């Protein structure tokens, strides 16, 4: 297609259903930031030209073609010389897949292992698979190259290169602060500044120092990224050196809309169909949206429209990618598409960094992201859709240039882009810190005394310690020691509120049920409700509905699923509009949590039909998430008197229980509570009397 001119969405074919206003794009690039031809581009530029598929070159040749390959020896020399090193290299240069293999071949890890952290599960898994394949000799993932993510460990005694999420390495640090299993730790995608990576900076820095003092084998630390503030990181790591790698950046042609488009979802679909009608079938498309609901709606729309006889273009395979999907579903985006079929991946910011989805030639960037932010002043953690940062916009467009020249359509104007924040705020400065505060205490570190790269706000730290005290994990907010309950809570890979629930469940005789509910809360929704079959789905699931709320409804579903014979489970799920994979994931998570409970010798009993026991038990962890009905049918949170409503997706929507417990707050035009259970007011007095005394009387204000 002619990418240098403005284009109109073909109104006659699709715009009637999509967008009354044609979307005009301006080619407003190449940007000031390095979007340029590099040497290798000339060599490989024709990969996708004229609709031909990728030439079949061996995987070892692919490795040799990477820009990093020529620098291999020099790089190894630098790595050998420095105990801490920052490596900056453009996306696609081969940092994540190659550097660990080079280190391994040079045996720099000696008798230890190499850890490579990733902020996201899907990156850790897909990269480990790719590297296992590259490493070759018929070895599969789990041999020399393995991965470990929450609830899934694919490593063995032979594993030397271990890709793992930053959260998992932090868990390992809880068992061994010095990380003696590893002689090399690579913290990848450092610019993403996830809360876990931020904590790991301090953990590895201290492990390196203590290991040197105690004559343990030295720990080599490598910080990697495509873009970051090198000086800031270098200062933090005792003025360590930084190495710059030249990248293989294929040019990405950037387009901006001529005018703002508020309905970015529809605009993404319209833009997709414009590309779809013109581009060769093997040019795949990656669309960035914000979350499951948006992504599924967009996927549905594309699937429908692609079948419309009026819409030209090859067959389409639509894949979706968001954090809460089970691993198996996430991995589907990496499967090759039959020739003559176009793949479109609709993803959250998961696909923004690290992962390579082969074949992507076009990126459509909706420009928005759903991010979690914690407000110490309101005590609420909100999921909010907001504009991305410029750094994220560049990362997103970079996904189009991984294997050949690409195109990025930004559903925002050039001036909207210029108004975006240059970089994202580190998660540690906007998140609820109670989980990490607990994990650090398990490492005998008090957050106030932790060596942070950037300190989180004091009031967030204060709020985290107050919560941990209320949950009984610490005696008082200055404690540096966990109570015995706190120590147990830290062993679960869960939010402390949820681990508290599991640890209280024995007392209420409902650990069976609590395990199920917490596993359900740790997984993606098990309900699938296609728009066209909403009534049918609701009627067949009617029998599970509980007047006590969403979690009990889900529990009822799981209980019945559990009684169905192994061979019939899939069918049963299909009939009841239950996502089979998601419920299997719940089953798996549940059994892993049960294992931890068994290690504590907890008695796994069932409360049967005495659901009050379970409701009370849930309150032991969630008493800070209680809202009270007001005369105007709105709910006010007890904690900070926030005015909220019950989300329309809740089974309790339209009913008005006097008190509810919620598990999530979402903000759109109003503040909504999601995941609701009704409770009796007097239980609060029984279960959390201290909390109630302190929080009952505050004045009301809107969110
Ligand atoms: P970096 O970490 O520097 O961004 P990677 O090491 O992840 O780069 O990937 C380097 C290159 O290796 C990619 O640009 C791509 O060409 C190739 N590659 C990586 N993973 C895959 C994969 N799963 N399938 C096909 N090619 C891949
Ligand atoms: Mg990488």
Instruction: Please tell me the number of the ligand nearest to residue 402's CA.
Output: 1
Residue nearest to atom 7 of ligand 1 (CA): 96
**Domain coverage including residue 259:** 3-22+249-427
Q: What angle do CA 662, 668, 673 make, to 5 degrees?
A: 10
Is position 550 within any domain?
Answer: no
CA 15 to ligand 1 centroid distance, Å: 36
DSSP per-residue string spanning 443-510? TT--GGG---SSPPPHHHHHHHHHHHHHHTSSSSTT--S--HHHHHHHHSSS-HHHHHHHHHHHHHT-
pLDDT at 375: 65
Between 404 and 75, residue with greater pLDDT: 75
Centre a 10 Å sphere on the Cβ of residue 689 and count the other Cβ atoms it contains. 11
Summarised one tens digit per residue, pLDDT across range 564-590 is 999 999 999 999 999 998 899 899 899
CA 148 to ligand 2 centroid distance, Å: 17
Examine the domain organization and report whether 366 and 445 are in the same domain.
Answer: no
Instruction: Please tell me the number of the ligand nearest to residue 126's CA.
Output: 1
CA 33 to ligand 2 centroid distance, Å: 19
**Is residue 428 predicted with pLDDT exceeding 60?**
yes
Examine the domain organization and report whether 392 and 470 are in the same domain.
Answer: no
Residue that is last in its domain, among 407, 427, 447: 427
C-alpha span between 199 and 611 (Å, rounded): 39
Q: Is the CB of 225 under 6 A from ligand 1?
A: no
pLDDT at 217: 97
pLDDT at 402: 80
Centre a 10 Å sphere on the Cβ of residue 555 and count the other Cβ atoms it contains. 21
pLDDT at 234: 95
* pLDDT, average across residues 125-146: 89
Examine the domain organization and report whether 72 and 119 are in the same domain.
Answer: yes
Q: Is the CB of 241 under 6 A from ligand 1?
A: no
- Determine the atom of ligand 1 nearest the C-alpha atom of 355: 7
* pLDDT, average across residues 149-154: 89
What the block records as the tokens of 619 is 């309150």
What the block records as the tokens of 378 is 């309101």
Examine the domain organization and report whether 358 and 259 are in the same domain.
Answer: yes
Predicted model pTM:
0.77
Is position 117 within any domain?
Answer: yes
Examine the domain organization and report whether 218 and 76 are in the same domain.
Answer: yes
- The confidence band for 136, taking pLDDT boundaries of 50, 70 and 90, is confident
* pLDDT, average across residues 103-120: 95
Q: Is the CB of 399 under 6 A from ligand 1?
A: no
Is position 606 within any domain?
Answer: no
HEC readout, 319-355: EEECCCCCHHHHHHHHCCCCCCCEEEEEECHHHHCCC
Residue 360 pairs in a beta bridge with: 284
pLDDT at 131: 96
pLDDT at 1: 34
Residue that is last in its domain, among 245, 263, 283: 245
pLDDT at 139: 72
Residue 353 · residue 333 · CB < 8 Å: no
Give 694's Cβ-side CA count (13 Å radius): 10
Is position 280 within any domain?
Answer: yes
CA 401 to ligand 1 centroid distance, Å: 11
Centre a 10 Å sphere on the Cβ of residue 444 and count the other Cβ atoms it contains. 10
- Determine the atom of ligand 1 nearest the C-alpha atom of 98: 6
Q: Which residue pairs from 152-160 have beta carbons closer than 8 angstroms and sit at least 24 positions apart in sequence?
A: 152/125, 152/327, 154/128, 159/113, 160/104, 160/109, 160/113, 160/114
- The confidence band for 7, taking pLDDT boundaries of 50, 70 and 90, is very low
pLDDT at 377: 57
- Determine the atom of ligand 1 nearest the C-alpha atom of 247: 3
C-alpha span between 524 and 404 (Å, rounded): 34
C-alpha span between 673 and 550 (Å, rounded): 12
Q: Pocket of ligand 1, candidates 227, 246, 402, 404: which has the most ligand atoms within 8 Å of its Cβ, to mutate?
A: 402
Least confident range from 175-184, 188-197, 217-226, 688-697: namely: 688-697
CA 92 to ligand 1 centroid distance, Å: 6
* pLDDT, average across residues 658-672: 87
- Assign 525 to helix, strand or coil: coil
- The confidence band for 703, taking pLDDT boundaries of 50, 70 and 90, is very low
Q: If you ran DSSP here, which 8-state letter would residue 54 be given? A: P
- Determine the atom of ligand 1 nearest the C-alpha atom of 99: 6
Instruction: Please tell me the number of the ligand nearest to residue 404's CA.
Output: 1
Q: If you ran DSSP here, which 8-state letter would residue 311 be given? A: S
Residue that is last in its domain, among 245, 262, 281: 245
* pLDDT, average across residues 666-687: 89
Q: Which residues of 635-644 are buried (b: 16+ CB within 10 A; e: fewer)?
A: bbbbbbbbbb
Listed in sequence order, the residues at least 6 apart from 368 whose beta carbon sits closer than 8 Å to its beta carbon are: 264, 289, 290, 385, 386, 387, 388
652 class by beta-carbon count within 10 Å (0-12 exposed, 13-18 middle, 19+ buried): buried
The winner for highest mean pLDDT among 60-74, 162-176, 243-257, 661-675 is 162-176
Q: What is the mean pLDDT of the chain?
A: 86
C-alpha span between 445 and 41 (Å, rounded): 49
CA 522 to ligand 1 centroid distance, Å: 30
CA nearest 320: which of 283, 351, 345? Answer: 345
Is position 145 within any domain?
Answer: yes
pLDDT at 11: 25
Q: Is the CB of 89 under 6 A from ligand 1?
A: yes
Q: Pocket of ligand 1, candidates 43, 55, 356: which has the most ligand atoms within 8 Å of its Cβ, to mutate?
A: 356
Is position 508 within any domain?
Answer: no
CA nearest 367: which of 268, 510, 230? Answer: 268
Summarised one tens digit per residue, pLDDT across range 505-537 is 999 999 999 999 999 998 878 998 877 788 999
Q: Is the CB of 130 under 6 A from ligand 1?
A: yes
- The confidence band for 604, taking pLDDT boundaries of 50, 70 and 90, is very high
**Is residue 219 predicted with pLDDT exceeding 70?**
yes
pLDDT at 662: 94
Q: Is the CB of 249 under 6 A from ligand 1?
A: no
**Is residue 394 predicted with pLDDT exceeding 80?**
yes
Q: Is the CB of 91 under 6 A from ligand 1?
A: yes
Examine the domain organization and report whether 193 and 55 are in the same domain.
Answer: yes
- The confidence band for 376, taking pLDDT boundaries of 50, 70 and 90, is low
- Assign 665 to helix, strand or coil: strand
Examine the domain organization and report whether 259 and 210 are in the same domain.
Answer: no
* pLDDT, average across residues 668-680: 89
C-alpha span between 586 and 217 (Å, rounded): 40
**Is residue 540 predicted with pLDDT exceeding 90?**
yes
The pairing of beta strand 84-89 with beta strand 220-225: parallel
Examine the domain organization and report whether 264 and 193 are in the same domain.
Answer: no
CA nearest 439: which of 454, 429, 428? Answer: 428
Sign of the alpha-carbon dihedral angle for 58, 250, 147, 521: negative
Q: If you ran DSSP here, which 8-state letter would residue 51 be given? A: G
Is position 583 within any domain?
Answer: no
CA 142 to ligand 2 centroid distance, Å: 20
Examine the domain organization and report whether 464 and 415 are in the same domain.
Answer: no
- Assign 253 to helix, strand or coil: strand
C-alpha span between 163 and 129 (Å, rounded): 10
**Is residue 87 predicted with pLDDT exceeding 90?**
yes
**Is residue 545 predicted with pLDDT exceeding 90?**
yes
* pLDDT, average across residues 426-434: 87
Q: What angle do CA 51, 53, 54 make, to 5 degrees?
A: 135
pLDDT at 251: 86
Q: Which residues of 465-496 are buried (b: 16+ CB within 10 A; e: fewer)?
A: bbbbbbbbbbeebebeebbebbebbbbbbbbb
pLDDT at 490: 93
Q: Is the CB of 97 under 6 A from ligand 1?
A: yes
Give me the CATH number covering residue 185.
3.40.50.300
* pLDDT, average across residues 633-642: 88
Q: Is the CB of 439 under 6 A from ligand 1?
A: no
Between 267 and 5, residue with greater pLDDT: 267
* pLDDT, average across residues 331-345: 91
Residue 363 · residue 407 · CB < 8 Å: yes
Examine the domain organization and report whether 56 and 204 are in the same domain.
Answer: yes
When computed from its CA atoms, the radius of gyration of the chain, rounded to whole angstroms, is 26
**Is residue 9 predicted with pLDDT exceeding 50?**
no
Per the structure, the count of domains in the chain is 4
Examine the domain organization and report whether 440 and 388 are in the same domain.
Answer: no
Examine the domain organization and report whether 90 and 235 are in the same domain.
Answer: yes
Residue nearest to atom 19 of ligand 1 (CA): 356
Q: Is the CB of 160 under 6 A from ligand 1?
A: no
C-alpha span between 402 and 407 (Å, rounded): 11
C-alpha span between 65 and 83 (Å, rounded): 29
Is position 55 within any domain?
Answer: yes
C-alpha span between 205 and 221 (Å, rounded): 8
């Amino acid at each position: 297609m002619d990418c240098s001119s403005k284009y109109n969405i073909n109104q006659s074919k699709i715009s009637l259903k999509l967008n009354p206003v044609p979307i005009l794009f301006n080619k407003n690039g190449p940007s000031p930031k390095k979007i340029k031809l590099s040497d290798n581009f000339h060599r490989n530029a024709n990969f996708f030209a004229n609709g031909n598929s990728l030439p079949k070159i061996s995987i070892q040749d692919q490795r040799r073609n990477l820009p990093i390959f020529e620098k291999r020896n020099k790089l190894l020399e630098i790595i050998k010389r420095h105990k801490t090193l920052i490596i900056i290299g453009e996306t696609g240069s081969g940092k994540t897949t190659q550097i660990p293999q080079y280190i391994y071949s040079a045996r720099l890890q000696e008798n230890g292992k190499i850890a490579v952290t990733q902020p996201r599960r899907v990156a850790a898994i897909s990269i480990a698979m790719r590297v296992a394949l590259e490493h070759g000799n018929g070895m599969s993932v789990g041999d020399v190259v393995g991965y470990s993510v929450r609830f899934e460990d694919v490593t063995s005694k032979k594993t030397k290169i271990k890709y793992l999420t930053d959260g998992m390495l932090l868990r390992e640090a809880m068992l061994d602060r010095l990380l003696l299993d590893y002689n090399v730790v690579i913290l990848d995608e450092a610019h993403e500044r996830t809360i876990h990576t931020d904590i790991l900076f301090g953990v590895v820095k201290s492990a390196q120092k203590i290991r040197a003092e105690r004559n343990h084998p030295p720990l080599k630390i490598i910080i990697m990224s495509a873009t970051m503030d090198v000086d800031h990181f270098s200062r933090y790591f005792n003025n360590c050196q930084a190495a710059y790698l030249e990248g293989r950046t294929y040019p990405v042609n950037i387009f901006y809309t001529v005018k703002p488009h508020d309905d970015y979802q529809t605009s993404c679909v319209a833009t997709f169909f414009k590309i779809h009608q013109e581009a060769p079938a093997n040019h795949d498309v990656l669309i960035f949206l914000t979350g499951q609901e948006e992504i599924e709606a967009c996927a549905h729309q594309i699937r429908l429209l692609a079948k419309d006889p009026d819409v030209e273009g090859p067959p389409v395979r639509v894949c979706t990618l968001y954090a809460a999907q089970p691993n198996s579903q996430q991995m589907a985006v990496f499967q090759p598409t039959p020739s003559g079929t176009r793949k479109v991946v609709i993803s959250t910011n998961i696909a923004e960094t690290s992962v390579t989805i082969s074949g992507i030639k076009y990126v459509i960037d909706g420009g928005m992201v759903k991010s979690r932010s914690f407000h110490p002043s309101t005590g609420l953690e909100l999921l909010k859709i907001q504009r991305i940062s410029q750094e994220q916009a560049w990362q997103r467009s970079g996904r189009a240039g991984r294997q050949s020249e690409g195109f990025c359509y930004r559903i925002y104007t050039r001036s909207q882009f210029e108004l975006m924040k240059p970089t994202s705020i580190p998660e540690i400065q906007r998140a609820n810190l109670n989980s990490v505060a607990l994990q650090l205490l398990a490492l005998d570190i008090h957050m106030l005394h932790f060596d942070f790269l950037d300190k989180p706000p004091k009031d967030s730290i204060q709020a985290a310690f107050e919560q941990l005290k209320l949950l009984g994990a610490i005696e008082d907010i200055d404690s540096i020691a966990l109570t015995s309950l706190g120590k147990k809570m830290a062993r679960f890979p869960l939010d402390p509120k949820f681990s508290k629930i599991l640890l209280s469940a024995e007392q209420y005789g409902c650990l069976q049920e609590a395990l199920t509910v917490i596993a359900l809360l740790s997984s993606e929704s098990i309900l699938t409700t296609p728009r066209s079959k909403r009534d049918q789905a609701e009627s067949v699931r009617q029998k599970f509905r509980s007047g006590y709320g969403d979690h009990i409804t889900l529990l009822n579903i799981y209980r019945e699923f559990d009684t169905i014979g192994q061979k019939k489970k899939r069918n049963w799920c299909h009939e009841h509009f239950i996502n089979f994979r998601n419920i299997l994931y719940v089953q798996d998570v549940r059994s892993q949590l049960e294992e931890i409970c068994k290690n504590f010798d907890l008695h796994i009993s069932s409360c049967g039909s005495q659901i009050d026991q379970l409701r009370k038990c849930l309150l032991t962890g969630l008493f800070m998430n209680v809202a009270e009905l007001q005369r105007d049918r709105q709910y006010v949170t007890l904690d900070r008197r926030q005015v909220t409503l019950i989300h329309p997706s809740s089974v309790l929507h339209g009913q008005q229980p006097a008190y509810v417990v919620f598990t999530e707050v979402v903000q759109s035009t109003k503040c909504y509570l999601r995941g609701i259970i009704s409770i009796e007011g007097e239980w609060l007095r029984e279960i959390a009397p201290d909390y109630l005394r302190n929080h009952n009387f505050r004045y009301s204000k809107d969110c």
